[in-house]
Chain A
Amino acid sequence: MSETAQNPTTGSGIPVARLYTADDLGDPAALSERIGAPGQPPFTRGPYPEMYRERFWTMRQFAGYGSAEDTNQRFRYLLEQGQTALSVAFDLPTQLGLDSTAPAAKAEVGRVGVAIDTADDMAELFDGLPLDDLSVNFTINATAPIILAFYLVAAERQGADRSRLAGTLQNDILKEFLARKTFIYPPEPSMRLVGDIVEYCTREVPRFNPISITGYHAREAGCDAVQELAFTMSDAIAYAELLIDRGLSFDAFAPRFSFHFATTLELFEEVAKLRAARRLWAGIARDRFGATDPEAMRLRFFSGCSGATLTAQQPLNNVVRSTVQCMGAVLGGAQSIHVMGYDEAMAIPSAEAVTLALRTQQIIAHETGVTDTVDPLAGSYFVEALTDELEARATELIGVIDSLGGAVAAIEAGVPQRWIAESAYRSEMAVANLTSVKVGLNAHVEEADATELRLFELDELSRDRQLARLDRHLAARDDVSDALASLSRAAASGQNVMEPLIEAARRGATLGELSDVFRNAFGTHREPALW
């Protein structure tokens, strides 16, 4: 957002006029076609005909810390508070394929999420929570096949019917190389594992979304709304091409593609972005991939709102920021939403902050009336003009990425990573030179900030408990070497790894052992220096 009243622009640099009129929208018949009807291609107005009149979005606060037992308690608390589904945050060792006992894991066990070493831990995580009745989101990427295997084993032990399992596995490795950075293996074998998961789930776990294609982290790392759209679409194109190359039909796998965007504070640009995303994907599905089933053209998404917009200064201001973000996600037609805790610029959120974030969603759902009609901002001269402009600019950038050889080649060359860094630097400098105002940070600053928050503190003993638990597990289990050998053969031969992985998980193999099998087969990736 530019502060220059004379020539304001949106965050992605689109000039904003004093006034928008019908002239900005062109031929009314063409506009009607572009926005269409909700529940029908091109889905500009929403993926479903009734939207929130039928059912609110899924309220899904991202949560996890300490051991499986600790996080199970937080899950139960959130469900008691009226949350409608679960979203698991894993600690860095789990994301990076390290057991809690690994020397490199030491400082990080249970820190940014829950520590999961075995299928037993996963069963403990969902103890007393019926998996055939709960939708669960897993923010996991490099170790996604292992976490999926643990989850399927946990569900099996509950006696849950696999065909009823619902939820989402993030499983978007391209955006790890791009922005989030918890990759393990080089891009090519990493992509193959993504393909193994989608292929397996399409057949075996039909109600589960095996991938969530995510622009969120690039946005949080500093790119703008146009880049977020283009990166997400280019990544989705790369996954679709991979799966088609493996002989799958676009109409068969694309209906289970899920998407994930940020929603920052810039309400109109964000709503326009989300509407443009649906239209872009419908066009790509139809024109690039020849989709014939409308379900394969329908973009459904989760919004994680935005942590990068929050400030450590005057933290209660973040409640206001999060409310606007959540409103943007709702007006943009989100299927599920996480709202940030007001203390997340300082620590993982306290129970109090998480509860308030959930209440923010509940208040918007029940008290504001914005859910009573579908796509309430449609037809706004400004929002429709912005939707068109974002779609046009993102289409152009998708073309640039195509010309670099597609998302995988562009990311391997480090090009979009550089764009993100440059864009992040531009917005940081705008804060530094006051062309962009952040209340409490560079304007309306309070020298002595009196706010005292009770921040979350991790129980430092939870790591010891997790290590003891893993030691007991290793002492009690039978030899798993033949299960690891069979996984190793699948990894080397190109056979889908999911069946041998699930068998090894059943037998008690650990996340570190299973990741090591892949490390031996695929090698590891180190990010090239970009500057």
Chain B
Amino acid sequence: MAFALRDAGCEVIYLGLQSTPAQIMAVATDEDADVIGASILSGAHLSIASDLIAERSRSGLEHVPVVVGGIVPPRDVERLLEIGVDDVFPAGTAIADVVRRVTALADGRQAQR
């Protein structure tokens, strides 16, 4: 995914695995990120997404969209959007589709500046 976004002209800062919401928001602040993306495969996406959104508010980054991808059953897509995630990419979402939707969010964020 990082390669695909890079090839679409994005600057990608990949944090690797085992990152906490606080670490992610700290990097997003330092790097002035346009979009924050998290890949979650463990099934803990609802709880982690809530933590991400809360941590985003604590960091004053409400204006930065958060997207989630990974092993997300269909029933949880709506729940993630309700939690405040801006877009969800369950397993099997076409790469081009993810790139289009993430870059649209990034463009929207750029336009606000």
Contact = CB atoms under 8 A, between A and B. Distances in A.
Nearest to A184: B18
Interface in A96-118: 96, 104, 106-108, 111-112
Interface stretch (A207-215, A249-257, A342-350, A490-498): A342-350
B71 A347 contact: yes
Contacts of A442: 94
A345 B93 CA distance: 12
Contacts of B20: 104
Interface string B56-97: 000000000000000111110000000000000011101110
B48 A107 contact: yes
A274 interface: no
A529 B31 CA distance: 15
Interface string A328-357: 000000000000000001111000000000
B18 A181 contact: yes
B96 A455 contact: no
Residue among A104, A181, A312, A431 having the largest count of chain B Cβ atoms under 10 Å = A312
Contact of B91 (A111, A345, A455, A526): A345
A96 B20 CA distance: 13
Contacts of A92: 42
B12 to A, nearest CB: 8
A458 B43 contact: yes
Contacts, number: 67
A348 B44 CA distance: 11
Interface string A278-296: 0000000000000000000
A422 B16 CA distance: 16
A100 to B, nearest CB: 13
Contact of A455 (B16, B47, B73): B73
B42 A108 contact: yes
Contacts of A181: 16-18
Interface string A432-469: 10000000011000000000000100100000000000
Nearest to B3: A425
B26 interface: no
Interface residues of A, number: 32
Contact of B42 (A112, A441, A526, A530): A112
A96 B18 CA distance: 9
A428 B95 CA distance: 8
B4 interface: yes
Contacts of B74: 346
A288 to B, nearest CB: 33
Nearest to A421: B3
Contacts of A363: none
A112 B71 CA distance: 12
| Majority SS at the chain A contact face | loop
Interface residues of B, number: 27
Contacts of A106: 47
Contacts of A311: 91-92
A313 interface: yes
A482 interface: no
| Majority SS at the chain B contact face | loop
B2 A531 contact: yes
A422 to B, nearest CB: 8
Interface string A400-443: 00000000000000000000011001001101100000000110
A107 B44 contact: yes
Contacts of B48: 107
A245 interface: no
A527 interface: yes
Interface string B3-39: 1101000001010111010000000000000000000
Contacts of B94: 432, 442
Contacts of A526: 16
B23 to A, nearest CB: 10
B16 A527 contact: yes
A425 to B, nearest CB: 4
A422 B4 CA distance: 11
A432 B73 contact: no
Interface in A133-187: 181
A175 to B, nearest CB: 14
Nearest to B45: A107
A107 B90 contact: no
A112 B6 CA distance: 31
B42 A111 contact: yes
B18 A313 contact: no
A107 B47 contact: yes
Given A312-B90, A347-B43, A527-B16, A432 B95 contact: yes
Contacts of A312: 90-92
A459 to B, nearest CB: 13
Nearest to B51: A107
A345 B92 contact: yes
A531 B14 contact: yes
Contacts of A345: 71, 91-92
A437 B88 CA distance: 24
Nearest to A433: B96
Interface string B86-111: 00001110111000000000000000
Given A311-B92, A312-B90, A429-B95, A348 B16 contact: no
B3 A108 contact: no
A456 to B, nearest CB: 9
Interface of B: 2-4, 6, 12, 14, 16-18, 20, 42-44, 47-48, 51, 71-75, 90-92, 94-96
10 contacts: A106-B47, A107-B48, A107-B51, A112-B42, A311-B92, A345-B92, A346-B73, A347-B43, A527-B16, A530-B16
In order of increasing CB-CB distance, the 6 nearest A-B pairs are A107-B47, A107-B44, A181-B17, A425-B3, A527-B16, A346-B73
Given A181-B16, A313-B92, 19 more contacts: A107-B47, A107-B51, A108-B42, A111-B42, A312-B92, A346-B91, A347-B43, A347-B71, A348-B43, A442-B94, A455-B73, A526-B16, A527-B16, A529-B14, A530-B14, A530-B16, A531-B6, A531-B12, A531-B14
